[in-house]
Structure 1
């Protein structure tokens, strides 16, 4: 274990012997850091935080901080649970949970650029990218392989589907279904996330199928419930199932096309 002499590791913190901690960092009692984690300078890892293996925590990061909720009291605290192989770049801030038993959850292989923020009780999947200052409010559910561009703000309780790209400086007030690009002050769908789909192995036939599903579901003029039923019947397949299930589970409403 490599611990800089100016770092503060409180009694009760659990660090794997391979963990490295840089100067002036603080790791509170109750925090757990798995094998291969690297904590750089001037970071603070609060006691409700659990990190898996091989996470990199860069300068000035705060993990497991109190939620930015005016009604918060310490006895409400729930955990922040983080998977493996994530990178948290300079100034990232992630709140611990407060209202759900599982707290705030971060998956694996996510890349958080400088000053991005994840609010309390969010659920973030795997292989996502958060550009500089991207922000999730509380209780947001973000799937996997999502690109959240710079200065994006996602409203509390929104859901973001898999393989979505959120365009820069966008405000997201509704659920964004899988496979699309959404952009704008009040974000609207502007097309499929073709680059992201190609990079993740979606061939032309599969992309055309997804496009046909969205043409029926969101651009046919049908009521959503009827369009979803027709999509299941006329365009069956796993991508159809994913879109239909996402839309049927929506409580905030589905983002439409521009």
Structure 2
């Protein structure tokens, strides 16, 4: 049975699962689907197009599936998909998609801290941590297990790789490849995220291979030369394949 405060509004066309707690002054609009065992604290707004999974906790002032802040948006039907076991803190805003991708996606087991903004058509993976007041412009992709500190500003269309650590206050407009630390102003490469990789159980041999790959990437003037040398000199493994695929597919170029 759901526990819905008499001071909350739930549209009669909204679809709710079981054992949800809907606090006072929450507003849940039509065309919304909410799973089981979610907790919406007071003053949470869930707009048209929201698709929310199970076991999420959403804190006061959060606004899910907001209308995109994109002048190209003409009212087309789009969605905002939230997975399971997320903690979405105070005043987080997550826009729904536009005709570009049709949906904004946030995976599972993420922590989105206070005042994070995720714009239209972003794709956020699983087990990420995103710090207070960090802002993502439209169509940003964040891969699994990234750690992004507070007050980070990310340009539209950027791609952030898995297991990165981004220093607070950074601004960037290029892609950030996996496994590294980025910091300073202007934002730049500062070596491997060694602490994060060890905490996640990466072996010393794997870390050494990743380190050697980035030594080649950041010592060569041409991307093609670095990729060729990595393929020739380093043992083949999924981490090296991921790095190569990430860099060769980058549309904005990688951060230096």
TM norm structure 2: 0.96
Q: How far does residue 222 in structure 1 lie from its aligned partner after superposition?
A: 4.2
Q: Distance in 2 between matches of 1:82 and 1:232?
A: 38
Q: How far does residue 83 in structure 1 lie from its aligned partner after superposition?
A: 0.7
Determine the structure 1 residue equivalent to 2:26: 25
Is 1:129 aligned with 2:129?
A: yes
Q: Please give the secondary structure, in 1, of the residue aligned with 2:6.
A: coil
Alignment check: 8 A CA contact 1:118 1:137 kept: yes
Is 1:151 aligned with 2:146?
A: no
Q: Distance in 2 between matches of 1:21 and 1:135?
A: 27
Is 1:118 aligned with 2:118?
A: yes
Alignment check: 8 A CA contact 1:35 1:53 kept: yes
Structure 2: runs of 5+ lacking an equivalent: none
Alignment check: 8 A CA contact 1:149 1:167 kept: yes
Structure 1: runs of 5+ lacking an equivalent: none
Q: Distance in 2 between matches of 1:18 and 1:34?
A: 9
Q: How far does residue 73 in structure 1 lie from its aligned partner after superposition?
A: 2.3
Alignment check: 8 A CA contact 1:173 1:187 kept: no
Matches within 5 A, 1:212-227: 212-219=212-219, 221-227=220-226
Q: Please give the secondary structure, in 1, of the residue aligned with 2:218.
A: helix
Q: How far does residue 174 in structure 1 lie from its aligned partner after superposition?
A: 0.2
| More displaced 10-residue stretch of structure 1: 243-252 or 202-211 | 202-211
Q: Distance in 2 between matches of 1:230 and 1:78?
A: 44
Q: Please give the secondary structure, in 2, of the residue aligned with 1:198.
A: helix
Q: Residues 2-53 of structure 1, C-alpha deviation per residue, up to 9 Å, x if partnerless?
A: 0000000011100112111000000001111101111110110001100111
Q: Please give the secondary structure, in 2, of the residue aligned with 1:232.
A: helix
Q: How far does residue 184 in structure 1 lie from its aligned partner after superposition?
A: 2.5
Is 1:103 aligned with 2:132?
A: no
Matches within 5 A, 1:24-173: 24-74=25-75, 76-173=76-173
Q: How far does residue 101 in structure 1 lie from its aligned partner after superposition?
A: 3.8
Q: Please give the secondary structure, in 2, of the residue aligned with 1:182.
A: strand
Alignment check: 8 A CA contact 1:93 1:116 kept: yes
Q: How far does residue 94 in structure 1 lie from its aligned partner after superposition?
A: 0.4
| More displaced 10-residue stretch of structure 1: 76-85 or 52-61 | 76-85
Q: Residues 123-166 of structure 1, C-alpha deviation per residue, up to 9 Å, x if partnerless?
A: 01000001100111100010010011000011000000000111
Determine the structure 1 residue equivalent to 2:199: 199
Alignment check: 8 A CA contact 1:147 1:166 kept: yes
Determine the structure 1 residue equivalent to 2:184: 184
Report the number of matched residues.
254
Q: Please give the secondary structure, in 2, of the residue aligned with 1:207.
A: helix
Q: Distance in 2 between matches of 1:143 and 1:237?
A: 19
Divergent runs of 4+, >3 A = none
| More displaced 10-residue stretch of structure 1: 63-72 or 40-49 | 63-72
